[in-house]
Amino acid sequence: MEEVRIKLSKEGLLSTFLRIEKEGDRAFIPIVEEGVEKARALGFEISYHTFKAPETPPRASYRDLLDLPEGLEKHLPSSFDIIGGIAVIKLPEPLLPYKKEIGRALVDFNPNIRSAYLDMGVTGDHRIRNLEHLAGENSTRTVHVEYGVKIYVDLSKAYFSPRLATEHMRVAEMVQDGERVLDMFAGVGPFSLLIAKKRRPRVVYAVDINPHATDLLRESVKANRITNIEIITADARSLPPEIRADRVIMNLPHSARSFLPHALRHLARPSAAGEDTRENRGIIHYYEILPKDAMEPRARELEEEIRAVAADIEARVRNSRIVRQYSPSEVHAAFDVEVLLP
């Protein structure tokens, strides 16, 4: 019965308003009315059964499916990540004994969620989420859709956060026709894919040290029929010198600072028009985790760090913004830096 329920849920056919009922050795699983023909086409046996009306109004949240000891409800997270068909949730210590029940509630409440996982933090050089399976299918692979672009994801092999969707599109919309873009820490490619699909760059160099991430990106490139992304599996510090860019994306917020000299090396380039003269302006989108009140001084400091790389380079932070709240005291900050080159 559980296998059938999971499949119905995955197909969006399971009713979340009515409960499964048993009569003898038979179980009746409620489906949505408009899904009858689809369920029949999938090979399910369709029977008509009068279900008991629920004693409570339709549930508004996964919280309504839980029966926790008094006082614990207040600890339930009000938000969690949904990546494709996977729910990823962080739980405080008091709720960990009930993690399986919470995972089951996430899967039962939303018919589009087929798996639920506990997020225990990001670890390692490849920034992989440490996950524990809670409920539903035990698969960390999914396809996430962002602004109509398909992104292939495997959470056990490469990092991805759906909370950066607005930032991915913000940067993409700034890209001009014919630009060359270097995405230094591309991961599974959300910046690169949106830029290549939504704009008209000459080329996007999508670089990541994690081969699993670049393999997934290749799947996404094929699925989205993109032809102007060059995928490079490498440490961004060891890229060949012929890679030149008009715009560099540096979304490695815990350690991007140490890569600044390498970003500037690839930003100093022949002009996009192929002339012998050199362009004198490039853009770096730089990201860092900071205390909220440190953003303004960090902008000035960032300008000085770039100038220190070479005496004839000038840098100005043209825009800074909070991408998201990272912790109670820290933010994921973005700085759009204009770099004037010799």
Q: What is the CATH number of the domain that holds 206?
A: 3.40.50.150
Same domain, 280 and 167: yes
Q: How far apart are the two ends of the chain, measured CA to CA in Å?
A: 69
Q: 35 and 108 share a domain?
A: no
Q: 313 or 311: which carries more pLDDT confidence?
A: 313
pLDDT band at 317 (very low <50, low <70, confident <90, very high): very high
Q: 260 and 331 share a domain?
A: yes
* pLDDT at residue 260, as a whole number: 95
Average pLDDT score over residue span 29-47: 78
Q: What is each CA distance from 99 to 110, 116, 117, 189, in whole angstroms?
A: 17, 10, 9, 31
pLDDT reported for residue 17? 62
Above pLDDT 70, what percent of the chain?
Answer: 92
Chain segment 252-300, per-residue pLDDT in tens = 999 999 999 999 999 865 444 444 334 578 999 999 999 989 999 999 9
pLDDT at 208 over 90: yes
Query: 174 with 195, same domain?
Result: yes
Domain of residue 124 covers 60-139
Residue 119 belongs to some domain of the structure: yes
Q: Do 197 and 227 reside in the same domain of the chain?
A: yes
Q: What is the pLDDT of residue 277?
A: 39
Residue 62 in tokens: 């996964």
Residues 335, 320: Cα–Cα separation, whole Å: 4
Query: Considering the chain, what is the average pLDDT of its residues?
Result: 89
Residue 225: count other Cβ atoms within 10 Å of its Cβ: 7
67 falls within a domain: yes
Q: Look at 134 and 37; give whichever has higher pLDDT.
A: 134
The pair of structure tokens assigned to 47 is 């029977």
Helix (H) or strand (E) segment spanning residue 335: strand 330-340
Give the end of a domain, one of 58, 79, 99. Answer: 58
Tell how strand 149-154 and strand 141-146 pair up.
antiparallel
Residues 54 and 64 in one domain: no
Same domain, 195 and 238: yes
Q: Which residue(s) pair with 337 in the sheet? A: 284, 317
Q: pLDDT tens, 62-95? A: 988 998 998 999 999 988 999 999 999 999 999 9
Residue 15: which pLDDT band, with cuts at 50, 70 and 90?
confident
What residue spans of the chain are helical by DSSP H? 2-10, 36-41, 99-109, 165-172, 190-198, 211-223, 260-267, 295-309
pLDDT score for 275: 43
Q: Which of the two residues, 28 and 118, has the higher pLDDT score?
A: 118
Q: What is the mean pLDDT of residues 39-46?
A: 79
**Count of domains observed in the chain:** 3
pLDDT (0 to 100) of residue 274:
46
Q: Are residues 295 and 181 in the same domain?
A: yes
Determine what percent of the chain is predicted with pLDDT higher than 90: 67
Q: Kindly indicate the confidence band of residue 183, based on its pLDDT and cuts at 50, 70 and 90.
A: very high
Structure tokens at 50: 């009068």
Q: Amino acid identity of 263?
A: A
pLDDT, tens only, 131-181? 999 999 999 999 999 999 999 999 999 999 999 999 999 999 999 999 999
Residue 26 in domain: yes
DSSP secondary structure letters along 243-309: ---SEEEE--TTTGGGGHHHHHHHHS-B-TT--SSB--EEEEEEEEEEEGGGHHHHHHHHHHHHHHH
- Residues 294 and 169 grouped into a single domain: yes
Per DSSP, the three-state class of 318 is strand
Claim to verify: residue 103 and residue 12 sit in the same structural domain: no
